[in-house]
Copies of this chain bind each other. A is one copy, B any other.
């Protein structure tokens, strides 16, 4: 290790030693560390190494900086993860409620959210692991509630609809990521090959013990993941449509608000078939 005094005195007249760090103006002006740069580096590490190997030391190494330097800008790893998660909501555009197009809007929003979750490896795990509420998601919650109300959902149902939709999107992305981790670890199988292997596995189970699994193995794994996702979203949308139709009917017959809590413990008004 050279002492600073030595390099300061000598390097004005002599060329810099090859193993010595460049100094003066030749050295890049040392970009200061910021939260943003840290978050960015964390995403690089996440994409390259995955969630399990994402550590403060790796982020610091990515920035060419000591670990402890991070703690001047970020109070803990948890906070860093939350900052990463907050970026999730940054550049997603929000629907503005249109009663005519609420189904399409929900479908589009769900697809956009899934695409965002897929855009970084293991991002779904960060999303699922974060505290269930961040101020950044307020505009999203509000916009979604707006769509639900535009669809004609009673308030109680609107309040619960967001849960169903968001847990499905998050859970779907999480499961998808786990399969990827899985086959990343075991073999160099492609995603398609994995699905085929699963289909074969289920098809070859003893049919007397698992009659439905064996019969449906093709239906479960034959189609693409996107189709499975769309189908799930469609199930939810139709469920919401049923409540909307019910509310509309009640609104026509009686002007006052009904006390129906929407859980429909009986199986009466069900099977409201949407036109979609």
Please give the residue numbers on chain A whose beta carbons come within 8 Å of chain B beta carbons, in ascending order: 103-104, 107, 111, 115, 118, 128, 131-133, 138-139, 141-142, 145-146, 149, 155-161, 163-164, 166-168, 170-172, 174-176, 178-180, 182-183, 190-192, 194, 198, 205, 209-213, 215-216, 218-220, 223-228, 230-232, 234-246, 249, 261-265, 267-276
The answer to whether B216 touches A157 (Cβ under 8 A) is no
The answer to whether B142 touches A235 (Cβ under 8 A) is no
Which 7 A-B pairs rank lowest in CB-CB distance, beginning with the nearest?
A167-B171, A191-B275, A239-B239, A145-B212, A235-B239, A159-B220, A155-B219
Interface centre among A157, A163, A249, A275 (most CB of B within 10 A): A275
Chain B residues with CB under 8 Å of A225's CB are 272-273
Minimum CB distance partner of A245 in chain B: B271
Question: In the complex this chain forms, how many copies of it are found?
Answer: 2
Identify whether the interface residues of A are mostly helix, strand, loop, or mixed.
helix
Given contacts A132-B182, A159-B228, A244-B271, 13 further A-B contacts (CB under 8 A): A103-B264, A141-B210, A142-B211, A159-B216, A160-B231, A164-B168, A167-B167, A191-B276, A227-B261, A227-B263, A238-B272, A241-B270, A241-B271
Select which of B167, B205, B211, B216 is within 8 A of A155 by beta carbon. B216
- Given known A-B contacts A159-B216, A240-B235, A275 and B180 have beta carbons under 8 A apart: yes
